[in-house]
Every structure is written in C-alpha cells, then in structure tokens.
Amino acid sequence: MIMNNGFVPVATASPRTRVADPMANAELCCDAIVRAANAGAKVVALPEVVLTSYIADDMLYHDIVLDTAEEALAHLVAETAKLDVVFSVGLPLCVNGKIYNTLAICHAGEIMGVIPKTYIPTYGVDFEGRWFSSGPADVTYITVAGQEHVPFGSHQVFRCRQMPQLCLGYEICEDIWSPDPPSIHLALAGATIICNGSASNASLEKDLYRRSLISGQSARLLCCYAYCSSGQGDSTGDVTVGGQEIIAENGSILAQAEPFGDGFAIADVDVESLWGARRGMSSFHVEPTPQYADYHETMFDMTIPDHPLMRPVSKQPFIPADEKMRADCCSLAVTMQAHGLAARVGAQNADHLVIDTTNSSVTNTALAMLAVARFYDLERPAVPDMYVAISQDVQNGQSANVKLIEQLADALGLPLATLASAQAAQQDTAQSSPEHPVLDIQELIGDTSWLIVNPSDMTQLALGLVQFPFDLGRQYGINSQIAHTFVPVILRQYAQECAEGNLQTLLGAICDADDELHIPEHDTVSMSESAELGPAIVEDFYLDGFLRAQYRPAKTFALAKQAFAGEYGEHELLVWMKAFYERFFGSQFLRHSLPDGPRIGSAGLDLRDGFMMPTYAQSTLWMNEVDALLNAAAK
C-alpha cells in the first residue's frame, strides 16, 4: 500500500527578504523551511532569487553578491540537512561567466539539481534581460555552493524512491506565462508536483488572473501546481509585491495565502489520484521514462508518515461547493434532461409518455416531472398523451408523498394516472376518466408507442435498489446520471429561481420528505449480516471514491473519517462501506444493460457513460481490505 494513502504535504513560503543581504535571507529561508517541516510539509517551495531579493538590480553584477549568495546557499543546506524535506530556493548563479536566474533543489544536505529560468522577461516593470541569460534545457554538471557534479539545466525531474508517484518538476515565474511553459513538458516527463518560484508584482487584475492561470494549469496538466511569489521585502515605492501563495491540484485550489498576508500555505496533495487521472486519459501522453523525454531524473529517499489530512474534503463530492457554479449546474442539469428526453422521444416516435413512480422516491419523481415539464416547453412536436403514473401499491402505502406528487403535477400542468395490474385495471375501469385514467401495466409493456420515464437515480442504480418492470429498450433513465444527494439540491435551486409561490412551497416540502435509500422488498442482491446500508450522503461519498477516483477502501475510509468527523463513528462508516461494495459488485448484472439516459456529470454506470465493468467481477480484494479495516478498528 502506498505511503500515507498517496498524500504528500506541500508548502509554499515567502520570507520578507532584505535587498542584497544573502546571509540574512538564508536565515529567513531556514526559518520558513523549519516552520513548514514542523507543520508536516515534505515539499517546500521558496520564491525566485530569494537569497538576494528580486530587486538587487545592478548589485547582481558584483562578485561579492554572487559569491555570498552561493555561501548563503551552502549555509542553508547545512542548517536544514537533518530535515527530511525537499525545498527549492532561488538565487542568481554565475556559470561560465553568465548569470542565471535559478532554483536550487535541495534535500537532506544535498543540492540535487539547479534549474535555470527559461523565459527572461524584459518588458513592463521587469528588466531581467539586463542581468540574466536564458538557461539551457540540456543537463550538464557544475560545482555550486561547494558541491560538485550538480545537474544544471531545466530538463530535470526529481522522484521519490519510496513513492514513485511523487515526481517533482520546477519552473520560474515568467515560464508559466509563456506560450510554451516548461511545466507542460515536465508533466509529460512524469512530474506530478510542479513548483514555481516567482517574484511577480501585485496588481488588481493580475492577482485574480494569476489564480485562474495556476488552477487552470494544474487542471490541464493533471498535476499539483505550487506557486510561491516573493514577499513584501521586494516591494518598492513604485511596485508592490505581495507574496501570493497558491497550491492547486487538478483545477482545485487546495490552499492559498492572499497577497500581503501571512506568506505561507500548506496542503496535502494526492499524487496517487493524479497518476490515476493520467491513466484514465488516453490523450495525456506521458513518456515511458523521463530519460525517454530527454529529462534527467534524480532519485531521492523520503519517508512520509501518516498524519491528519491537510486538505478540504467535501462530504458531498457530487455537488459543486461554489454557490454560483452549483446554481448554474442545477439549472443546466434540468435543461440537459429535457433535451435528452426530446431526442429520445423523436428517435422513438413515441406517442405516449409516462413517468413511472413505482420504485421511485418522491424527490426523484419530482425531478423527473420538472424535466418533463421543461421538455414540453421546448419547441418540439408535442407528445399527445403524457401521464405521471402512480402505482396502486405506492398510493396505498405512502399517502403523504403521493399527495405531494399529485399537487406538484397539478402545479406543473401534468396529468395523473394510476398504474395497475391487468386485473386491478379492469376492476378500476369504472373509476377511470380521461383526466385520471387507470393504465394497465401489461398494455404498456405490449404497446411500443409508449415511452416510460424511469426516475431512478445513479446511487440507486449503483446499489441495486432498482427494479425494471418494463422493457429496458422502452425506458428512459432521466435521473440515471444524477447522484441521490444532488437531486434535492437541484429541486431547491429550481424552487429558489421559481416565481410561483405555491411551486416553491411544494418543492420545499418534497425536499423535506423522508428520502433515504431503502432496500426493495424483493431484493435480488445478497448482503452479509455484518453489512448495513448507510445514509445516502455516505453511500454517495463511497460511490465517488470508487467510480471517479478509483480509491482503494483504505483511502476512501481515511477521507470519510475526515469528512464525517463528529457525525459517524469508524465502525459505522466501515459497516456502510462493506454494504456499498457488496451491493455494487452484487448488482452489476442489473446494470449490464441500463436504459438510455442523459449524460449529466463526469460519472456514469455503463459504457455509454465511460464506465466498463465485467458482470462477473469479484469483490474479494475490496471486501478483504474492508474486513481488515474493521478488525483494526475493533482493537
């Protein structure tokens, strides 16, 4: 099993440096590295030319400054030799008579490599071309700070021998702003964590753009991008520098320090999931080895002990955390459902449409009704007959929920029908009317002009909680790509945007109704006595870990403990996890041929949705690990 479940603590720090005083700055850098190490960091990024400060200007021509910068580096390496931390520190370095803007990559008293800056900005407020040369890509060997045979060149990566997923790459400030950033090629050479030591000035627009640039680069490269800009000691009366820190992973910002703030950020980076994301994207062409990509690879040894996780963990991974993004996704989901239904109706030439509520929760039925109502708002040929069909069994057992559905149908202008067996339909013929007909299940099965809308959601399908009484080819799984916990969120957002007060009240009441997951009366999936179906929010958490992240049980459990701390105990979480794996594997045969449904999110349960699982896959590996976790928790 990978150390610490694949999480690597990464920190960025921006000391408040003194201009042209390398030894003093080395002490400040040492303090920052020790602070990060005490917080648990294993990778620490420091700013560009931090040992002299970025604004040393023509002082960089002086040998006394350049020589002292190397002496300061030697001092810093010696002072941190006992720390099991890889850190990068910026300094101007004279090589063969030319000055380069470099990062020294250091670990346990060794300078593992020196990375020169590739793109030298000489525009706006930057005049680097006056002092610095663009560095070579190919690696040669130099002597620096008293250490010989140190690799020098931008084509370098640094890999942890004990955790090969931890592969470090480096670029400097302007490099990421260029049309062809070195970080692209570092990622394709295998780097999963890319650090950028920078000295970028502050401005209103630039700080916001920089944040989006870095998060976007981490998403594009399926990597962690750790950005560290120089601290306030580099500010002048004309240009201010704020020390912005950003740690982003695959598009998400894990930690940041705002400009002119503390100048320190730390977060756990999931290098295992980054490898997994790259495995799953065939167009992400990582070279077989760094050497194959003409990159020099330096191996290092590091121990990463288990520790409390330093990263945000959402207990609802299928629901966007950002309020605006969540609202946009909710609205778009219903629109996508409506357009998907329109395409299916047109392809089938369906004359009749019925929402089957037989195995559906009240919230799922409500969402299907909203999507159908929006479908009728589209400029498409109308379907002559459309009903919300409530089965007699549901009518007899859940009167409160049935009443809510009836009221919602009335508010949306959708006609109601009763779904009954052939015998019951004949008995109820006298009560049938054009406004509220009694539909014979057998007639629906035999009539190809009907399209049955199945409201079952992705979570119910994943856990085998759904039965299909009709021909799968004539059903449409309108909610089949939406997680159970996301359904009420969509309903509440719809209610919030709705101008009609009665509809708002109805949707609120529907969301407040009991909507937990329930095992059907005639269950076809076997469960062990020690397994128990958990709350929907927990089962969705496990579904995300298995389906999208491909986590092993131990890692999902570690994340669940943090997400649900104070709500559920370890034993409960593991019992529910056991039920998840049992039911997911045990119900795969039910999902082998799912009805069509609109692709809404990034996860699905069949090949049309990008998921391929053999029907006869065994759950042994997963169940054994859950049992081991249960035994460990019981001690």
Task: Identify the domain boundary among 300, 335, 368.
Answer: 300
Kindly report, residue by residue over 110-167, the tens digit of the pLDDT: 999 999 999 999 998 889 999 999 999 999 999 999 999 999 999 999 999 999 999 9
pLDDT for 395 beyond 50:
no
Query: What separation in angstroms does the CA of 110 have from each of 106, 115, 146?
Result: 6, 15, 10
User: Per residue in 609-623, pLDDT tens?
Assistant: 778 899 899 999 999
* Contact residues for 308 (Cβ-Cβ < 8 A; gap 6+): 562
Q: Using DSSP, state whether 505 is helix, strand or coil.
A: helix
Does residue 289 share a domain with residue 329?
A: no
**pLDDT at position 236 over 70:** yes
Q: Cα angle at 264 between 261 and 270, to 5 degrees? A: 135
615: Cβ contacts below 8 Å, ≥ 6 apart: 588, 589, 592
What 3-state DSSP class applies to 133? strand
Same domain, 89 and 206: yes
357 and 225 share one domain: no
User: pLDDT band for position 422 (50/70/90)?
Assistant: very low
Residue at token pair 């030298």: 120
**What confidence score (pLDDT) does residue 445 get?**
60
pLDDT at 393: 52
Q: Is position 310 within any domain?
A: no
Report, as an integer, the average pLDDT of 304-324: 94
pLDDT tier at 423, thresholds 50, 70, 90: very low
pLDDT-based confidence at residue 387 (cuts at 50, 70, 90): confident
pLDDT digits (tens, 9 = 90+) for 247-277: 999 999 999 998 888 899 999 999 999 999 9
Contacts of 372 (CB under 8 A, 6+ apart): 338, 341, 353, 355, 386, 414, 453, 478
Please report how the helices 501-512 and 362-377 are oriented relative to each other, as an axis angle in degrees rounded to 10: 150
Mean residue pLDDT of the chain comes to 91
| More confident of the two residues 423 and 476 | 476
Whether 305 maps to a domain, the answer reads: no
Region 345-362 average pLDDT:
85
- Domain termination site, one of 268, 300, 332: 300
pLDDT at 75 over 70: yes
291-303: average pLDDT: 97
* Under 8 Å between Cβ of 371 and 403: no
Question: What is the model's pLDDT at position 55?
Answer: 93
Token code pair at residue 623: 């169940």
Choice between 469 and 543, residue whose per-residue pLDDT is larger: 543
* pLDDT confidence bin for 438, thresholds 50/70/90: confident
Q: Report how many domains make up the chain.
A: 2
Q: Is residue 165 part of a domain?
A: yes
Q: Do 258 and 340 fall into the same domain?
A: no
Six-digit token string for 570: 């370890």
pLDDT of res. 97: 97
53: left (phi over 0), alpha (psi -120 to 50) or beta: left
What is the domain range of residue 628?
323-634
Last residue of a domain, one of 269, 300, 331: 300
Amino acid at 448: T
Q: CA-CA distance, 81 to 78, in Å (whole number)?
A: 5
**Look-up of token digits 């997400």:** 563
> Angle CA(591)–CA(596)–CA(601) in degrees, nearest 5?
85
Contact in structure between 543 and 505 (CB atoms under 8 Å): no
Give residue-wise pLDDT tens across range 199-215: 988 887 788 899 999 99
